[in-house]
Amino acid sequence: MTPNLTIMNVSRVLQGVKTAAFTSNARQKLLAFASLLGLLLFFSMASPSFMQTDNMVGILQATAVNGVLAIACTFVIITSGIDLSVGTLMTFCAVMAGVVLTYWGLPFYLGVLAAIFFGALSGFISGVLIAKLKIPPFIATLGMMLMLKGLSLVITHSKPIYFNDTPEFPLIAQDSLIGYFLPELPIPNAVLILFVLAVVSSLILNKTVLGTYTFALGSNEEAVRLSGVNVDRWKIIVYTLSGAICGIAGLLIASRLNSAQPSLGQGYELDAIAAVVIGGTSLSGGAGTILGTIIGAFIMSVLTNGLRIMSVAQEWQTVVTGLIIIAAVYADILRKPK
């Protein structure tokens, strides 16, 4: 009896693995990952300086902010929503950290908390606008995007806030915890934070109730409602979480620049959405992965970095990025059975 049971269990586990490996998500990730490897191979052959440690660290560093924002967007996009405010929200959170630390001179940890708190608050407001007032996500977050941009400029009188009184602040992104243990791998903390956040987000999406409802909302919201789930509440929670993650992005960018730049931010949301889409998350909701998003973010920064190293003009880099986004989504459509 016992050996039989074990065999059954093993076959069940195998079956689970099989279904997981052959879902379209997994295939999309594979495709995205292969594209990333292809790009790395291409650029390393095209330019000898591409594969050098400094350049690699540069790419990692450059991915951190967009990667974190893209994670925030992934949650919202899986619910079949969209968040256009992530870029200016990031800036607003950086500004609020500056207000707490530089204007008011409060302790370091309060500045960190302020950034995350205002991120979550803004996400909460977007969530209420969308879930309770039934404003379409595109419009609600477009409005939030402009309001946050304006507020950042008003609060700072359009001048950057520098973190000169808080020597710890630049260390958030720039220091290297890994470098202390492995001096030959000076990976900046920003990248470490990106990866930790990715793992935590992945756990939330795949192992918790919140994650299940995130997918469920994107798959069939009415069905979730009829199952007796408080749809509005969970939607607000998703947007709040997404906002809090934007707060982390705000800390990263302010720490890297050692200042909160109020005019920065607009345009970041589109890069983040592009990374999510390249990573295989469906804009119609219900499907997507954090790993895909991270790969998508890396494809974008490898592309920018590689083209720059090959001395392709900035203008043409933008053209190529646009092409890649369209190609990535088209590849996804081609694979889907009609």
- Positions in the binding site for another protein (CB under 8 A): 15-16, 19-20, 23, 203, 207-209, 212, 215-216, 218-220, 222-229, 286-287
Rounded least distance, CB 207 to another protein, Å: 4
Rounded least distance, CB 161 to another protein, Å: 37
The torsion angles phi and psi of 132, rounded to 5 degrees, stand at -90, -45
Rounded least distance, CB 265 to another protein, Å: 32
Residue placing its CB nearer to another protein in the complex, 69 or 216? 216
Quick check: 246 and 90 in contact, CB under 8 A?
Answer: yes
What does the DSSP 8-state code read for residue 305?
H
Residue placing its CB nearer to another protein in the complex, 224 or 324? 224
The Cα 261–Cα 252 span in angstroms is: 12
Residue placing its CB nearer to another protein in the complex, 54 or 222? 222
Rounded least distance, CB 216 to another protein, Å: 5
Q: How many CB atoms lie within 10 A of CB 4?
A: 8
The Cα 165–Cα 169 span in angstroms is: 9
Residue placing its CB nearer to another protein in the complex, 52 or 227? 227
Q: Token match 């919140």: residue?
A: 210
Residue placing its CB nearer to another protein in the complex, 27 or 308? 27
The Cα 191–Cα 68 span in angstroms is: 10
Residue placing its CB nearer to another protein in the complex, 175 or 221? 221
Q: DSSP letter string over 209-264?
A: HHHHHHHHHHHHHHHHHHTT--HHHHHHHHHHHHHHHHHHHHHHHHHHHTEE-TT-
Buried b (16+ CB within 10 A) or exposed e, 88-118: bbbbbbbbbbbbbbbeeeeebeebbebbbbb
Residue 159: strand pairing partners: none
Rounded least distance, CB 226 to another protein, Å: 5
Residue placing its CB nearer to another protein in the complex, 42 or 215? 215
Rounded least distance, CB 26 to another protein, Å: 12
Rounded least distance, CB 288 to another protein, Å: 9
